[in-house]
Structure 1
Amino acid sequence: MIALGDRFARTLPELSVAWQAQAAADPALLLLNEPLAAELGLAPDWLRSDAGLRFLTGTALPDGAAPVAQAYAGHQFGGLVPRLGDGRALLLGELPDGRDLHLKGSGRTPFARGGDGLAAVGPMLREYVISEAMHALGIPTTRALAVVATGVTVHRETPLPGAVLARVASSHLRVGSFQYAALTGDGNLLRRLADYAIERHHPDAAAADNPYLALLQAVIRAQATLIAGWMSVGFIHGVMNTDNMTISGESIDYGPCAFMEAYDPATVFSSIDSGGRYAYGNQPAVAAWNLARFAETLLPLIDPDVDAAIEIATAALDAFKDSYQHAFQARMSAKLGIAQEDPELVDDLLALLEQQRADFTSFFRSLSAGTVPDGFGDWARRWRALGPDIAAMDRVNPLYIPRNHLVEAALTAATAGDLDPVRALVAAVREPYTPRPGLQHYAEPAPEAFASGYRTFCGT
């Protein structure tokens, strides 16, 4: 059994509660991420054993492990909730390579707020599928190590089979972690949290004249890069609350997420986002808003003079727009196979895609294959004049993404006991750029009847 550190729990005891996972009545492995297991030094055969399943459900941990439920706050759809925390999750500890091993669906904790602390098979498999797709697309993300059925029935709208997700992340520090620390009024705690975040994720900030300003700037850059990645593949997170924005710059908490097909900045899939706050086109602005909330927590550390701190932090936040635009334009230039950024060409393309309601994913592969849809002729002539590298385009534009109708079909089958569709979907999206015989349907948009009314749910 691999060792698990307890550095977070020891360093920041005010931000966690020692807790144990609920026993799984009849654990059964559903999916195991063998490449990730090998990367972590975990033997797949052992993880499949009874002892491995107890490890993956948090009920049999190595000596010295100190599992905790983490405390954090968060702005949820713009409203501040001072105490959220891991209501159905546990940080088991830090793996030897420094990453966190974390569970979802492991039972009630003191942060459960009336919930049962459990998770159903479908949402946990969704996180596995989407996070593997994002990793394959080169977008920073937490990773799913395994999904284990618990043998416990979870009661939602209907009774559902329960499951636990084992997740690996650079850490689970969030903007909400800093909000929680700031709300305690304990300046020493806030400073220790910031120092921990610097050492763990942004060590270059430690050498800066103002390390806490450098931390803010590093997180701004990391998030600008992340959101540009999301936007370049049509990914919609669906619940960009501050407790779902990491300090590391990794994507986290794949609840009501989905991939846009017909290009439309107003696209919303989440059933709980009735106002469209987290629509596809709003994601950069929401990220900037969340980062402003992060900056607010750091003000006492940036400068003891409040007015000076606000001025300094505001200047740092103003850099997000340029950082995001540069990262997004670099992604789009790569998708178009052109060496230089051309914002006007990109903006004109996006306007045409919206006007034509073109499929955002398949358009770029069609373009590299020489197929230009009606209405794009003038734009395509401008693009061709730039001498695009067609082979390079096919190395960054996916054929296969987790298309929503395929995800839903796979999760429905898995909930009924048939894991073959979800395994096949994972196999497809793990190699998103490589055409393979028999996988044509993974590259096709959803039928209009499905797409027009599609909604996603957070699964809690």
Structure 2
Amino acid sequence: MPAPAATLESLPFDNSFARLPEVFYTRLAPTPLPTPTLVAASREVASLIGLDEHQLQRADFAEYFAGNRLLPGSEPLAAVYSGHQFGVWAGQLGDGRAHLLGGVSTPTGPLELQLKGAGQTPYSRFADGRAVLRSSIREFLCSEAMAALGIPTTRALCIIGSPAPVRRETIETAAVVTRVAPSFVRFGSFEHWAAKGRKDEVKILADYLIDHFRPTLREEANPYAALLSDVARRSAELIAHWQAVGFMHGVMNTDNMSILGLTLDYGPFGFMEAFDAHHICNHSDEQGRYAFSMQPRIAHWNLYALGNALQSLIDPEQLESLIDGAYIPRYESHFLQLMRAKLGFASAQDGDEDFLGETYGLLQRQHLDHTNFFRTLSQLQGEPAEATRAQADAALRDQFIDREAGDAWLASWRARLAQEHSVDAERQARMLAVNPKYVLRNWLAEAAIRQAREGDFSEIERLLDCLRKPFDEQPHNAHYAKLPPDWASHLEVSCSS
């Protein structure tokens, strides 16, 4: 029989990271917040950590996840790491506004709980250690939306709000989001020790990761080389997922890259709307380093930063083969696999890469909405009658600036389907299962944020319910799939988002 769901007092903590030598972190309690209030919670994440969902309604729930009270068994700490920010070595960084409470044992392995926005730490530098309601809502919703899309990600249990003032560009109110992941170790966690010449600490951290998260790598001739190759492969799969769904992270610094291949640290993210391969979703990214088209290249660059940090454990002459040999072919094959599925192709055919290039050229020239284009395509017929073709294709043709160009592309797409004798009902079902109708567009998050600032959190819950089922039609939520309203054209997200 499955174990009974836990209460807040009986969560089975197993704090493996806290067993590392104390040079890896600073033990300290979160800073209490006045008048904490539950803004939103994810029942799915509560289930992941074995927490009875009725615990979310407890009067003292907000006290625990604001950091005002400590969960029994937790050992709060802030981890140290360093990193490259916008391609420049930034030196020591660390959990400047995050407190790791510890890991909770689950049937699928430990899941760590981390409070983001819980006050200053020794790594805050000149910052206040707080998060604001705006950014916490964005991270909470996007963490759960990405999980529902099947993209590796950290998760979010809840948001706790407070009237405490926090200064950003303006005065905002404070919030704490509880993040959940097997581990929050980053590329920069290794860079930190390598930059100091601390080879023992590099090895200790690598051994910790292998023993706790990748134990099969111990069977390899060099487990550390195998770890780097594993990270490269998982990172390739992650970025392929991002590109296929049109997700832009916005700030792919090495301290924001998960060693487990998870989407980590949601800040100025965005989902592609009017397609532009060179779109920059981060208003702070003046040089376009993290533009949509750059993400695969930046992940590759970041892997070399990680590889350089592991040189005391790996022959430096092997770095190219370990990174390029794992990352490049895996990214290319996985991205092509994902895109074949999005286009409805059940088999691999010669010329698929060229057709994919033509498809992206079409998206670029016509500035088509990325999500709506693929979702609408999923519902088209493979061989409509000539007399009714224009009507059958109207929903997609109406998205094109140049309908003749759209018709020509559709003819090529149908010719490709005919090569494998595609059956409409089967193909459409496959395509609808991989082409979401709903993604977290920035204007949707902004609408929820504006209501929340007025004390109304209901839109967060409605949006979360919709994003949990991104591939379902959900007629009552159809307005969430609409193109952005005019006011959304003025939205900007930056590193403070």
Q: Does 1:46 align with 2:83?
A: no
- The answer as to 2:411 corresponding to 1:381 is yes
| CA shift for structure 1 position 448 | 5.2
Counterpart in the other structure of 1:357: 367
Q: What SS class does the counterpart of residue 134 from structure 1 fall into?
A: helix
The CA distance in 2 between the partners of 1:176 and 1:12, in whole Å, is 18
2:65 aligns with 56
CA drift of 1:334 comes to 0.8
Range with bigger deviation, 437-446 or 140-149? 437-446
Q: CA deviation at 1:449?
A: 5.8
Aligned partners of 1:293, 1:334: CA distance in 2, in Å?
A: 33
1:457 aligns with 2:494: yes
- Give 1:400's aligned amino acid: Y
Which residue among 330, 335, 338 is the counterpart of 1:331? 338
* Cα displacement string for residues 387-441 of structure 1 (whole angstroms, at most 9, x for unaligned residues): 3512100111011111121211111111221112222211111111111223222
Question: Could you tell me which of 430, 448, 464 is aligned with 1:410?
Answer: 448
- In 1, the alpha carbon distance for the partners of 2:320 and 2:486 equals 45
What is the number of residues matched between the two proteins? 453
Partner Cα separation in structure 2 for residue 84 and residue 91 of structure 1:
15
Tell me which moved more, 205-214 or 371-380: 371-380
Query: 2:386 — aligned with what?
Result: none
Correspondence 1:64-75 to 2 at 5 A: 64-75=73-84
Within 5 Å, which residues of 2 pair with 1:52-201?
52-97=61-106, 98-201=110-213
Measured in 2, the distance between the counterparts of 1:281 and 1:115 equals: 32
Maintained 8 Å contact 1:107/1:116 = yes
Residue in structure 1 matching 2:305, options 285, 293, 306: 293
Amino acid at match of 1:100: E
Contact 1:74 1:243 in 2 (8 A): yes
Q: Is the Cα contact below 8 Å between 1:238 and 1:256 reproduced in 2?
A: yes
For 1:128, the aligned partner's letter is F
What is the TM-score of this pair, normalised by structure 2?
0.88
1:315 to 312, 315, 321: 321
Unaligned runs of 5+ in 2: 1-8, 381-392, 398-402
CA distance in 2, matches of 1:228, 1:152: 40
Moved more, 202-211 or 72-81: 202-211
Match of 2:435 among 378, 387, 397: 397
- SS of residue matched to 1:400: coil
C-alpha distance in 1 between matches for 2:189 and 2:474 = 44
Give the conservation status (yes or no) of the 8 Å contact 2:136–2:159.
Answer: yes
String of CA shifts for 1:209-248, please: whole Å, max 9, x gaps: 1111100000000000000111111111000000000011
Displacement of 1:48 in angstroms is: 2.9
- Calculate the aligned-residue CA RMSD, in Å: 1.5
Give the structure with higher Rg (CA): 2
Gaps of 5+ in 1: 303-308
Q: Deviations over 1:327-369 (max 9, x none)?
A: 1111101111112342111111011110111111000121122
* Corresponding position of 2:267: 255
TM-score, with length taken from structure 1: 0.95
Alpha-carbon separation, structure 2, partners of 1:159 and 1:147: 19
Match of 2:32 in 1: 23
Q: Amino acid of the residue matched to residue 276 of structure 2? A: D
Partner in structure 2 of residue 427 of structure 1: 465
Counting aligned pairs with the same residue, the percent is 39
Contact 2:80 2:93 in 1 (8 A): yes
